[in-house]
Amino acid sequence: MVPCNWYMWLSAIVFCIGMFGFITRRNIIIMLLSIEIMFNGVNISLVALSHYLEDLAGQVLVFFIIAVAAAEAAIGLALVILLFRNKETITVDDLNELKG
Partner 1 sequence: MINQVFFFYFSAVIVATSVMAITRRSVMHGVLYMLLLFFHIAGLYLFLNAEFISAVQIIVYAGAIMVLFLFVIMLLNLRDDIKKRQFIATWPMGLLVSSGILMIILMAMLTIKTGTQGQWGIAQIERLTHTVAIGTVMYTQYLFPFEVASLVLLVAIIGAMVLAKKRIK
Of residues 50-89, those binding partner 1 (CB under 8 A): 50-57, 59-60, 62-64, 66-75, 77-82, 84, 88-89
Report the DSSP beta bridge partners of residue 91. 27
Binding status of residue 97 toward partner 1 by CB under 8 A: no
Binding status of residue 30 toward partner 1 by CB under 8 A: yes
Cβ atoms of residues 62 and 39 within 8 Å: no
User: How near is the Cβ of 89 to partner 1 at its closest, in Å?
Assistant: 6
Binding status of residue 35 toward partner 1 by CB under 8 A: no
List of residues 6+ apart from 18 with CB closer than 8 A: 34, 35, 36, 37, 38, 40, 41
User: How near is the Cβ of 100 to partner 1 at its closest, in Å?
Assistant: 20
Calculate helix-pair angle for 4-24, 28-52, nearest 10 degrees. 170
User: How near is the Cβ of 98 to partner 1 at its closest, in Å?
Assistant: 18
